[in-house]
Every structure is written in C-alpha cells, then in structure tokens.
Structure 1
C-alpha cells in the first residue's frame, strides 16, 4: 500500500524518470520494478530511430548519460557508485567517474531571493559587495565571491532554488526502487540495495544542510589546531544557516594546476607528502575525514600550507571499524589468510560464502605481498586487488569502507600527479604502525577484555529470563511470526487472480442464465428481446469489459 501511494504521489516525476530509462534501453528494468503502465505511457513519446541509436551504446555509457539526464540526485548517486570499486569493474568506474556535477548557473536574481529568504534581509545589508557571476555552479548549490563590510573576502554558498523538494521526491522513488529490487532481483540482494539507498539518503540530506557542512569543517579544523600545515576556511556563523553558508575566501593555487605551482616556486614533492599525511591522519587516527579530496577541493597557499574546502561529504570510521582495517593489514603482512578471510566475510555480512575457496584465493593473494616491507607496499594496487577479489566472490563492502577505499585511491592518484615517484605506502607507514601499536597495546587489550567480560555477564544474566519467556510462549500455544515481503506479494497476486477467476465465473453464469431466459416465452420485452435476458447480457458485457481492462492495466495482457 505504501508503494502504491508513493507512485501516485510522485507520478509525474516517476513517468519522467521512466521515460529516460526507457530511452536508454532499460525498459525491462522499469517493467520488472512493476511500472508497466508507466512504460506504456512513456514509450509512446520515444522516436524509434533515437531509441535504436542510444541502445547501441555500451551499457556503462548509457547508464552515465541516463543518470545525467535524471537530475542532481541521480548524478550524486552515480558519483557515489563511482567509488564502489568492490561492485563495478574498472570500465564502469571510469565511466561513472566522468559524471559532471557542474550545471548551468541559476540567474543571480534567483540567488538574491534565496539569500533574502535565508537571512531575512537584502544581501546589500550584509555584504559590501557580491559578484553576480558565480565562482562555481553545482547540482545542489552555487558559489559567489563577496566582501563583508570589514573588507574580509568571503565565498557565499547558496542552495539552488527549489532543489530540496525535487531531491526529496527522487529519494522517495529511489527507496521505492530499492525495495522492489530486493524483492524482484534475488541476485542483487547481496548488495543490500535498501541499505545502500538509506545510506545515500542520509548522506544527501546532510549535504543539503549547508550549515552541517560548516560543522564538519570546524570539527576537522579542530583536529589540526596544532598542525600549521593545514588550512580550513573560517566560518562566518552570523550569515550561515541551512540554506546558505559564508566562509573565508581561499586565495590559493588549485593543486591540479601544476604549471602555477611551478611558477610559484612550490615543491610539488613536498606538497604530495604533506597532503597525504594530512588525509592519512584523518583516515587512520581521527576516524573522521573529508570524503571527496579531489583536485577541485584542494588548494596550495603560497607559504606551502594545504587548504581544503567543501566539507559537504565526509566519512566516519568507528573505533571498531578502524580496528578491523588494522586487523586486515596485519593479516596481509603476516600472511594469515584465515584472519583476512574472517575480516572480509564479516564485512560482507553474508552466511552463504564459500569460505574455503575464499581462503584459498586470499592465501594466493597475500602470498604476493609476503615478505614485502610495509613501506614498500603499493597500497593503491593492493586495495584494487582486494576489491577485485571481493567482486569475484560476489561480496560487497560496507558503505563506510567503500568510501575509505575511494579516498585512498583518489589520494594516490593526486599524489602521483604531483610527484610521479609518490609512494602512499611510505607515507602511511608511521600511521599504520601507530594504529597497530595502539590497537595491540596492553591498555587497549585490557579495555576490550573488560568490555567482553561485561557483555558476557549481561548475556548470561538475561538468558534465564529469555528462556522462561520462550518456554511460556511455547506452552501457551504461542507462535513464531515471520514476515516475508516476497510471500506477501505472492499472496496479494494470488488474491487478485482468485478475484478475477471468480468474476469470470459470475460473467459466465450471467451469459448462460441469460441464454436460458431467451427461450422462455412471455414476460416483459425490450427491443424485441426478453427484458431479463437483455439485462443479463448487458451486465455480462459490462463486467467482461471491466475484467479485460483491469487485466490490461496490471500488465497481464502482455
């Protein structure tokens, strides 16, 4: 019932999205999601020649182009999937990575109205000047350079008008699609589509809150308070809220502008080392990190400091997850295939894994890295090998770990662009040693042991009560209830089929009864026919037309 109401509520947007998918040759996916009527309506709008041209493209190209046409929510989804090297082969990752977040800018008059509504006053009352030409225009927000009355140069990031309702509608449809995928595509359940949709929704809703981005920036800035190599723009909270934020303007050189870095006399090798050390500290020590450190978000100041902007997308690693990463690295270095297998199977969260074969493959994998000093490991290559192994065994990583791997690969690529001889493993070595030392220190082991004992005591204390409840339920005739979405859907379809069969029998009875009535002499007539026979045939005809129409509408007439 919830899905039906969702489709009705967002029917216009649903039909537009279905039209795009069908145009790029994904009509079967739309049909299997239970949207047959949408196919029937949308299909009439598609020129056959254009459809044939688009379908001839490689599937990854069609997916990328479809996501771009579907709007900002789906562009963000594609960018998220571009980091899932554990799910997609390299050619798909390369194509999804080409998704462009840049869109045509919103006219400044609309941005001015947004600022007015966000602050309750005209922009001129807050800013001494503001450039009408944007510095950048992305799918969610637009950035303009401005100056405060005290002369401070700032950037004003304003949410695009009307973007929130559109994204919220698309997120509802994505969650609807994820539930349908789990129900109708059994092979895809191992990827937990509904869980991925929830994670994506939470991430995108946080990104819509431009004040939350500033909280992220201040949290990371605080963790580097004693490190002069890192610069995070200062937030002007008096002008910041959910719909807009204001931060200091960073007058630095984009890290991807190699010629400008050379002209400024900056040491590219030193920049690569410093940037790697800053990000690795976030990843391995703090557990809270910038999740999108691409070249457009990193600048180099003329004094050599690294400035990072745009903290809308951040990643979090719990202490337990960080310990698992350390355990994985420890297993790789010690050539302990069983330890590595246990970590990967635990991350996948599946019981139907061939652990023996996985252990054999991992043993061959770790053999390639055996006796290689940690400082000489190519971490980017190793991570890609791990994800290829996961794909071969149809395993998926948790979302936070997939984000961590994406950051590591981005960092490695950025470092090599600055310094062709860049070795991320060499930079990671002291952080890994410190993390492993902390994890296996006597104090850490004592804390984990105390926690294990406490949890065990709690479990033993509650076990008798739980067993008594279970025993009483069994003696009292209690039942164990299970809810299966697939079984519920099957029952619903079976009920519809039974209703149609009953209607068919009633129609047949009306026709037979009316035929018998035709042979009876006397009684009232209509148009020269016995009245009751005429009414019976008319009722049977109307019911038959209704039955055929209901079958056609449900897609059963294919």
Structure 2
C-alpha cells in the first residue's frame, strides 16, 4: 500500500484496511489476544451457568458483565454495544435490557493534548481564536470531549475535540471484527438475511461518518434546513472557519437536559410540552424529511428557556427513501387498525421479512403478540413493550432487523424512554397517531393520498367508522384544522386523480340499497363546531376561484357541458 497510513483513510474501506494490516500482523496481535481473553472469560461463564443449570439465576449478572466488558474494550466496542442494544434478532432479551444502559462516558484525555490538537488542526494559537476556553472539558465521551469557549468576535461556542489516534484504533478493531465475522458467520444461528461481514461493513461506514466532524457539521446544517420553518426546534450554528475533521466549533446551547425537570420548571416551562415537541419532531424526521437523528439520548436533547427544544450531536444520522417513509405510515396505520395481514406485507416491503416468506403462519403470531401489546385501546400502545414482545418473534419466525431500522428503533425507544422518565403515563401514540392522521387527511403527496384510500376502503367497501376515527384522532392534534383539510379533500375529488374516490363515495352513500344519511350526520356532528358559516363561505369562494372549467366539467355528466364563456 506504499506510504498509506491508517489516519489518512477518510472513509471506511474494508479492502484498504485489510491490505494495510495483512502485512503488519504485529500491530494487531496484542489487541487480538486481549479481545479473545476478555470474551473467553465471558463465554466460559455462560457455559458454566449452563452446566450448573443456573442460567436464570445468573442472567442479570452475565448481562452486566457484558456491558462492563464492552466498556473496558474502548470506543469501538462501546459503539458495538449501543448498536446491538437495538437488535432483538441478534441478542437475548436480558442482554438487550442491559446494553440499553450502555453509556459512552469515559474519563477525559489530557487537557494539554486536547489544546495541542485544537492548535494543530486550526493552524493558529488557541488565544488567536478564542477569548475564553474552559480549562477542563465540560463533557467527555468515547469519541471526544467538549470545551466551552468564546470566540474573539464574541460568540459563545462549544468546541468538540476528537480523541487522539481514534481512527487507527477503530480501523484495527473493525479489521479484527470483520475477520472474525468471516469465519464465525456460518456457525452462528443468526437470522441475518445476509453475510455477517456486511453488518460489520455497515457499522464501519456509520462509525467513520461519526468521527468525521466536517460530515457532522454538514448534517447539522441539513437538519437545521429541514426545521427552518419550525419555531419549536433549535439547531446550533456551525462555525466553519474553526472546524476540521477532528475539531468542531458550534454555537453553545444554553439550556437544560430534558431529564432535568426541576430546572425546566424553574424557568417556567412544562417538561411534557417539551417532550411533545421532541416526539413530534422525531416523527417529522422519519415520515416527512426522511433525514433523522439516530442518537437522541438525554445528553443530546435540551430544553431552551424560550420554550424550544434543541438538538445537538449530529454524528449519527441516516436518510430514508420516500417509499420507506410511506411504508412506515402504512405499517403504523395497519398496526393501529389491527390489519395484521397488511402489516405482515408491510414487514416484507420494509425488509423485515424476505419476499419469498410465507406470511400465512406469521399473521396469527403478529395478532397474538402485537394485539396483546397494544391492548383494547390505542392509547395503551407502548413502543418499548412492542419491541420487547416483538423480540420473542425473532427466534420463531424468519424476521431480521435491517440496519437502517435498528437506528430507527433506537431513536424511537430512546425518545419514549425519556418521555416515560418524565411522565410514567406518557403514551407515544397520543402524539404519534394524531400526527399521522392529520398527514393522511391533508394528503400532502400522491403517496399519502393513496394511503388514505387504503385506510378508508377495505374489501371494496367504504369504512365510515375509520374516517370518523381518523378525524376524531386528528382533532386532538393542535395543528389540525378541519376546514383546510376539507378544502384539500374537495380539490382532490374534483381532480383527475380523484375520479376513483368520486365513484366510490357515490357507491358508499348508496351501499346496501339505502342512503347512508346516519353516517353522514355522525360525521357532520363531529366537525360542525369547526366549520362556522363565515369560514365555509370563504372556502367556497376560494374554491370557485381556484377551479377551472375543466375541473368542474370532470364531475358533470357528459350530456351537461358548461356554457361557453363570454369574452
């Protein structure tokens, strides 16, 4: 590989890493011996429990041992543990519960070394850039540590400094993991759907993205752009003149961790209102923007005194395709409506089941597990319970968790965990489903409009009760206004795209040889208070102005053409 050095590799490249270490085995022997020694002791402990029939008695002890072992092995293995904490298809439930607690808090590295890294990276003296810089880090994690400072120009900033030699250390660990995966994969009873080395590669790619602070800065700006019109979400600005791959300078956020309810209340804020912002913005990331924060733990979310919620740390992000966003909406709607056959098909589309899977035996299993987890009332839904129950299915049926969804699950479980710590009665669906119902009813895209039709029609019949339920649930969302929604609905029906819906509504109104006036009256009673006469008149005038002759002609019988207009 010539003059190639590990620290020069900017992106994860398994071939380049393997080529480097293949001719330098002495650089990995010591590390390999330590890893084998640590895991051998742990595996022997598991086997001893098996021989002594004490698996149940010692399972909590072994889970704690695993968490502590990963912490001792350093940053790469801490990140592995965090990733595994969202993989019920790979890890036992008792281990999962312990790995969720895995924190990447480590002692800070030497302060003089951190200052030296800042000066080397920025190519100038500390005091040429900063008028103030904290003598010690205000936070230290597995990948770096943070200082509080002030630029010469007066702005208060956070300065993030990466741990020295982090990239070479991670490259060495990833090389060993990939080597182990290549020969362990055939022997492990794991339902991966693909080679274990591909999982290591996915992990390595994400890890390299996370330790590139220029990439993190770009992520922050993209995230801020998505929420530029949202007055409830705060994202720190990036100071690019003082940012490199290993040093990130960004706006200091004066706020309180979401778990610090005492301070939040002291400044006159309601913790539950802040949590609602967090859950709603999390849903927007997944279902609207498709670009989501994959690590929203309490240290990365802050309540700002002006009532906003701030996000920090944009190293771990991911992007969803449009089809995936729409399939997620499908899955949530089918889950809440208890359409388990459709839900099983959603799992195929999302990659949890392969396309050749026979879903027939899976449907009753989904109904038994998820129906029990949701309960009789939609408000009883708890995402943590769903993931715990779902993990039981992983060993009985050919489910696998795609890497992208491991991050989504981690994000949702973490946010719900924060909310539950503040309010044990918090139900994520009380926020999530009104949001989804509002998006379906407003039909912002052709895909969402198609999904609304799928909700409202089942086996060719119009589901009056579902429409009523959707409107009732959507009205619990403070952002939902029934009148603009009604206007959008009428515009859709008068369009070429709405031809099917017009025909189906006529059939629905006259279904079973009777006029369904009771259902229409019930819907009217639900929304009439939101439709005062003056607003109805305004909308009617607007609609008449908006629609062209062609739009109106589309719903008139063919033998009743519009009169020719006079010029």
Same fold (TM over 0.5): yes
How far apart, CA to CA, are the structure 2 residues paired with 1:144 and 1:443?
Answer: 48
How far apart, CA to CA, are the structure 1 residues paired with 2:90 and 2:96?
Answer: 9
1:147 aligned counterpart, secondary structure: strand
How far apart, CA to CA, are the structure 1 residues paired with 2:76 and 2:121?
Answer: 23
Matched, 1:236 2:239: yes
1:302 aligned counterpart, secondary structure: coil
Higher helix proportion, which one? Answer: 1
How far apart, CA to CA, are the structure 2 residues paired with 1:338 and 1:61?
Answer: 39
How far apart, CA to CA, are the structure 1 residues paired with 2:153 and 2:130?
Answer: 9
How far apart, CA to CA, are the structure 1 residues paired with 2:310 and 2:386?
Answer: 29
Aligned equivalent of 2:427, options 420, 423, 426: 423
> What does residue 53 of structure 2 align with?
none
> What does residue 122 of structure 2 align with?
119
Aligned equivalent of 1:396, options 394, 400, 404: 400
Distance 1:116 1:277, change over 3 A: same
2:149 aligned counterpart, secondary structure: strand
How far apart, CA to CA, are the structure 2 residues paired with 1:10 and 1:73?
Answer: 20
Report the Cα offset of residue 371 of structure 1.
Answer: 9.6
Distance 1:99 1:378, change over 3 A: closer
Alignment of 1:190-339 (within 5 A): 190=193, 192-339=195-342
> What does residue 489 of structure 1 align with?
none
Matched, 1:155 2:158: yes
Q: Which moved more, 1:429-438 or 1:216-225?
A: 429-438
Report the Cα offset of residue 149 of structure 1.
Answer: 0.8
Report the Cα offset of residue 209 of structure 1.
Answer: 0.4
Distance 1:305 1:330, change over 3 A: closer
Contact 2:140 2:146 in 1 (8 A): yes
1:392 aligned counterpart, secondary structure: coil
1:356 aligned counterpart, secondary structure: coil
Q: Could you list the per-position Cα deviations for residues 445-476 of structure 1 after superposition, in whole angstroms to 9, with x for gaps in the alignment?
A: 9xxxx9xxxxxxxxxxxxxxxxxxxxxxxxxx
Q: Which moved more, 1:365-374 or 1:10-19?
A: 365-374
1:247 aligned counterpart, secondary structure: strand
Matched, 1:9 2:12: no
> What does residue 170 of structure 2 align with?
167
Structure 1, unaligned runs of 5 or more: 30-54, 451-558
Distance 1:423 1:367, change over 3 A: closer
Aligned equivalent of 2:436, options 426, 432, 437: 432
> What does residue 382 of structure 1 align with?
386
Contact 1:210 1:243 in 2 (8 A): yes
> What does residue 410 of structure 1 align with?
414
Q: Which moved more, 1:410-419 or 1:386-395?
A: 386-395
1:145 aligned counterpart, secondary structure: strand
Report the Cα offset of residue 92 of structure 1.
Answer: 0.9
Report the Cα offset of residue 327 of structure 1.
Answer: 2.5
Report the Cα offset of residue 332 of structure 1.
Answer: 2.4
> What does residue 540 of structure 1 align with?
none
Contact 2:348 2:354 in 1 (8 A): yes
Report the Cα offset of residue 131 of structure 1.
Answer: 1.5
> What does residue 519 of structure 1 align with?
none
TM-score normalized by structure 1? 0.69
Matched, 1:441 2:441: no
Distance 1:224 1:370, change over 3 A: closer
Report the Cα offset of residue 72 of structure 1.
Answer: 0.8
Distance 1:368 1:76, change over 3 A: closer
Distance 1:353 1:21, change over 3 A: farther
> What does residue 548 of structure 2 align with?
none
1:154 aligned counterpart, secondary structure: strand
Report the Cα offset of residue 195 of structure 1.
Answer: 2.0
User: What is the number of residues matched between the two proteins?
Assistant: 420
How far apart, CA to CA, are the structure 2 residues paired with 1:257 and 1:400?
Answer: 31
Distance 1:10 1:257, change over 3 A: farther
Distance 1:124 1:273, change over 3 A: same
Contact 1:21 1:66 in 2 (8 A): no
> What does residue 501 of structure 1 align with?
none
> What does residue 18 of structure 1 align with?
33
Report the Cα offset of residue 121 of structure 1.
Answer: 1.4
> What does residue 61 of structure 1 align with?
64
Alignment of 1:39-54 (within 5 A): none
Distance 1:285 1:91, change over 3 A: same
2:281 aligned counterpart, secondary structure: helix
Report the Cα offset of residue 214 of structure 1.
Answer: 1.2
Distance 1:189 1:422, change over 3 A: closer
2:130 aligned counterpart, secondary structure: coil
Contact 1:154 1:246 in 2 (8 A): yes
Report the Cα offset of residue 389 of structure 1.
Answer: 2.3
Q: Could you list the per-position Cα deviations for residues 465-509 of structure 1 after superposition, in whole angstroms to 9, with x for gaps in the alignment?
A: xxxxxxxxxxxxxxxxxxxxxxxxxxxxxxxxxxxxxxxxxxxxx
Structure 2, unaligned runs of 5 or more: 1-14, 45-57, 454-496, 498-567
Aligned equivalent of 2:149, options 146, 171, 181: 146
Q: Could you list the per-position Cα deviations for residues 388-426 of structure 1 after superposition, in whole angstroms to 9, with x for gaps in the alignment?
A: 323432521101112112211111111122233322101
Q: Could you list the per-position Cα deviations for residues 289-319 of structure 1 after superposition, in whole angstroms to 9, with x for gaps in the alignment?
A: 1111111111111121111111111132211
Report the Cα offset of residue 233 of structure 1.
Answer: 0.8
Contact 1:271 1:418 in 2 (8 A): no
How far apart, CA to CA, are the structure 2 residues paired with 1:59 and 1:7?
Answer: 35
Q: Could you list the per-position Cα deviations for residues 143-201 of structure 1 after superposition, in whole angstroms to 9, with x for gaps in the alignment?
A: 11111112211111111111111111211222222222224436465474222111111
> What does residue 356 of structure 1 align with?
360
* Structure of higher CA gyration radius: 1
TM-score normalized by structure 2? 0.68
Report the Cα offset of residue 385 of structure 1.
Answer: 2.8
2:237 aligned counterpart, secondary structure: coil
How far apart, CA to CA, are the structure 1 residues paired with 2:215 and 2:20?
Answer: 32
> What does residue 483 of structure 1 align with?
none
> What does residue 508 of structure 1 align with?
none
> What does residue 543 of structure 1 align with?
none
Q: Could you list the per-position Cα deviations for residues 298-346 of structure 1 after superposition, in whole angstroms to 9, with x for gaps in the alignment?
A: 1111121111111111132211212222222233234333222223345
Q: Could you list the per-position Cα deviations for residues 224-271 of structure 1 after superposition, in whole angstroms to 9, with x for gaps in the alignment?
A: 111111111111111112111101111111111122223223212212
Distance 1:349 1:157, change over 3 A: same
Question: Which 4+ residue blocks in structure 1 deviate beyond 6 angstroms?
Answer: 2-5
How far apart, CA to CA, are the structure 2 residues paired with 1:397 and 1:123?
Answer: 46
